Structure 1
Amino acid sequence: MDLLAIRQEIDQVDQALVTLLEKRMDLVGQVAAYKAQVGKAIFDRQREEEVLEKIAGLVENQDYRERLVETFAAIMKESRTYQASVLECEK
């Protein structure tokens, strides 16, 4: 496969990732609204550890495991930041 074809395939994967990440952020907004209603803190260390363990278990190619877990940790960090902004806007 030549470089152009590989890059085109990467572009397709990126498009799918953006769609899925937008859906995830929609759900994060719903989580923020729920947490606001019940007075729950944004950061839940146990939940995040569980999610990261689950992600690590889903990775088939172990060469990617550490990087993908770190990627999801970053996604969750940004999700917390978004939740904080949603909660701030509701004040």
Structure 2
Amino acid sequence: MDLDIIRHEIDQVDDQIVHLLEKRMHLVEGVVAVKKASGKQILDTKREELIFERVRNKVEDNRYQEPIVAIFSDILKRSRAYQDKHIT
């Protein structure tokens, strides 16, 4: 496969990821509102562990499990930072 073709396909996937991450952050706005109103803590370790477990189980190719879980860890870290900025 030609490198330019591969990069074009990666760009298309990246576009989808950006769209989905933006959609996710919009949902985080709802989380911010609920946590702000209820006084709930930003960090919910049980919820995060469930997310990591679900992600691990969704990865079909085990070679990619570790990096994909790490990516989700970063997504959750950034989400918590956003929540912290908008709750406090």
Q: Output the TM-score relative to the length of structure 1.
A: 0.94
Tell me the secondary structure at the aligned position of residue 47 of structure 2. Answer: helix
Q: Deviations over 1:59-78 (max 9, x none)?
A: 00000001100110110000
* Residue pairs, 1:5-44, within 5 angstroms: 5-44=5-44
Task: Tell me the number of residue pairs that the alignment of Structure 1 and Structure 2 aligns.
Answer: 88
Task: Report the Cα offset of residue 87 of structure 1.
Answer: 1.2
Match of 2:50 in 1: 50
Task: Report the Cα offset of residue 9 of structure 1.
Answer: 0.3
Q: Output the TM-score relative to the length of structure 2.
A: 0.97
After TM superposition, what 4+ stretches of structure 1 lie above 3 angstroms from structure 2? none
What RMSD in Å do the two structures reach over aligned CA positions?
Answer: 0.6
Match of 1:66 in 2: 66
Which runs of 5 or more residues in structure 2 are unaligned?
none
The percent of aligned pairs where both chains have the same amino acid is 49
Tell me the secondary structure at the aligned position of residue 31 of structure 1. Answer: helix
Which runs of 5 or more residues in structure 1 are unaligned?
none
